[in-house]
Amino acid sequence: MGKIVDYLRLVKFSHTIFAMPFALLSFTSAWVLRGAEHNSLWLLLLQVVGCMVFARNVAMGFNRWADRFIDAENPRTAEREIPAGKVSPRGAVVFIVVNAVLFIALAATINPLCGYLSPVALAVVMFYSYCKRFTALAHLVLGISLGIAPVGANIAVTGAISLESIVLALVVMSWCAGFDIIYALQDADYDRKRGLHSIPSHFSARTSLIISALLHAASIAFLVWYASYQPQSWLLFLGCASFSLIVASEHYIVTPTRQRNIGIAFGTFNALASMSLAVCLIANLVIYA
């Protein structure tokens, strides 16, 4: 049991709460509004959730393996599972390979397009781990990695890519990139010394937070666009308003001179934002579509 816990901590399994609600929202929207090629709702839902978990395990496991030497030198991350010796590098590689195989195999059972695109999805999420070595745009690549989730869920249901799911992916991409910049403030000094690239390592904390706020403003604008595809009701407006207010609140509690709340903004606020939006919009689809 202890070893299982170590691997769950390795991949930060609790952070699945960021992308999973958007995948479930896209899944529900495609099922209700576009119709499904699949006969069984619950079987397909289990397949999609399984793919999400396996892909997440690959992405985070590979990130921790690729960054093991960097993490060992950074006081903030030195106690992560690989640097601390709780998970061996070889064990991490086995874990990554097993989850990658399971992801591709499970995706292939959904429909042909899911199967064909599954290696591409893994390539994108794994590519992110090396981005900070050469570009400060790594935050956007992370956003794209999470933005794959709603597009993949839509493909699972309909066997095709829809504009609606792409717009939701843009919501996720800009939202995720914005909060990742806030999170990266913690390592700005270390990244500069190590020659790693991020928005906070290239700019001041004030400028970094302005860029983050602009990305979050873009996320809210994309959400308004996405809302135009949904049944119009008070639940839709409640979900969009709650997401917008929670995301905006991150910039109230984290400022250039007040960074002690980064953990709360990153973990608690973003989890609440994604969950509140998904719950309200899924209920909206079920009740009003």
pLDDT at residue 169, rounded to an integer: 98
Question: Distance between CA atoms of 285 and 281, rounded to whole angstroms?
Answer: 6
Question: Distance between CA atoms of 40 and 57, rounded to whole angstroms?
Answer: 26
Residues 61 and 43 sit within 8 Å (Cβ to Cβ):
no
Question: Distance between CA atoms of 216 and 257, rounded to whole angstroms?
Answer: 20
Single out the residue of 123, 120, 129 nearest to residue 68, CA to CA.
Answer: 129
Half-sphere exposure of 266 (CA within 13 A, CB side): 15
pLDDT at residue 2, rounded to an integer: 62
pLDDT at residue 280, rounded to an integer: 98
Per residue in 79-101, pLDDT tens? 999 999 999 999 999 999 999 99
pLDDT at residue 4, rounded to an integer: 76
Give Cβ neighbours of residue 135 (< 8 Å, ≥ 6 apart): 197
Amino acid at 275: M
Indicate the pTM of the whole model.
0.94
Q: What is the 8-class DSSP label of residue 269?
A: I
pLDDT at residue 1, rounded to an integer: 60
Question: Distance between CA atoms of 107 and 103, rounded to whole angstroms?
Answer: 6
- pLDDT below 70 — which residues of the chain? 1-2, 13-15, 36-39
Angle between helices 2-10 and 89-110 (to 10 degrees): 70
Residues 72 and 78 sit within 8 Å (Cβ to Cβ):
yes
Amino acid at 175: W
Q: What is the 8-class DSSP label of residue 13?
A: G
Residues 250 and 267 sit within 8 Å (Cβ to Cβ):
no
In the three-class reduction of DSSP (H, G, I as helix; E, B as strand; rest coil), residue 220 is classed as: helix
User: Does the 2-288 domain belong in CATH 3.30.365.10?
Assistant: no
Residue 36 corresponds to which tokens in the numbers above?
Answer: 């499904």
> Tokens 């407006």 sit at which residue?
237
Angle between helices 41-66 and 89-110 (to 10 degrees): 150
pLDDT at residue 8, rounded to an integer: 72
pLDDT at residue 34, rounded to an integer: 79
Q: What is the 8-class DSSP label of residue 34?
A: I
Within 10 angstroms of residue 3's Cβ, the number of other Cβ atoms is 10
* Domain residue ranges of the chain, discontinuous segments joined by +: 2-288
